[in-house]
Each structure stands twice: as structure tokens, then as C-alpha cells.
Amino acid sequence: MKRHGILNSHISKVLSDLGHTDLIVIADAGLPIPSDVPRIDLALTLGVPSFKDVVSAVSEDMVVEQVILASEIKEKNEETLTFMNETFSESEQKFVSHEAFKQLTKQAKVVIRTGEVTPYANCILQAGVIF
């Protein structure tokens, strides 16, 4: 058994396989997931696990170069935006429309679905490098 880090074998494998600029999505319970993008469905009940819990765990194991968020988060979910700003203070941030965000999910290596049910609690994380 692992001593530290993410215990979910699917997420651990995806993070280990990422190369520079690869994308992963951490999504709320309602984000449409493209049929050809692998899904890791963690949703258990409404709100469980939370977007923040999953982002926190992933951010500890992943070098994140850029974070992409829907611009609508600025008005519809300031609490989550503040959390993202604090969590990824060293990463570049990019805002796109929610429609453009959904199109970008087609390029992801995986979508990790949470049980989150607050508006626009979705992010695309672009992998960086440790050197």
C-alpha cells in the first residue's frame, strides 16, 4: 500500500503518465464529458467528494503550469475562484467561456468527476515539468 499521495490507482496512473502540456480536467457533477475521453468517476453523493478535496489532492502530486477556468466562475462562484487562486498562486491562469471550456475538455487525457454541485466548479490543469 502507498504511504503518501493519491491512493486512487486510476488517478495515480494518469498523473504518472502525464507529459509536459498534457491536460486533465477536474469536473463538477454536471459537466458533460466527451465520450472519447476517459472518465474517473469519484461522485458518490451530492457534494461528495468536493471539488476542493480533489483539486487539493491532485495539486499535491502534479506540477501544474497553467490552470484554465470558465470565465463565468468570476461572477457565479467567487469562493471556488478564491480557492483556485490560493492553490495555484504560482501557476498561470487562463479564463475562457464555459462553451470554450467544454470544447477544451476534448483534448484532456482524463476527466475526473467529483460530486460537486456548485456552479462552474471545473478546471483544466496543464502539466508542467519539475526541471
- Determine if residue 61 is labeled as part of a ligand binding site: no
Instruction: Check whether 122 is labelled as a binding-site residue.
Output: yes
d(CA 11, CA 34): 18
Q: CB burial class (10 A; 0-12, 13-18, 19+) of residue 111?
A: buried
20 in active site: yes
Of residues 20, 74, 94, 106, which has the active-site annotation? 20
Contact (Cβ atoms closer than 8 angstroms) between residue 121 and residue 77 = yes
**Residue 127 is labelled as binding a ligand:** no
Q: Is 121 annotated as a binding residue?
A: yes
Is residue 8 a known part of a binding site? no
Going from the C-alpha of 86 to that of each of 45, 55, 56, 63, 123, the distances in angstroms are 26, 12, 11, 15, 14
DSSP state of 48: B
* Residues assigned a catalytic role: 20
Annotated binding site: 28, 98, 120-122
Annotated binding site for substrate: 28, 98, 120-122
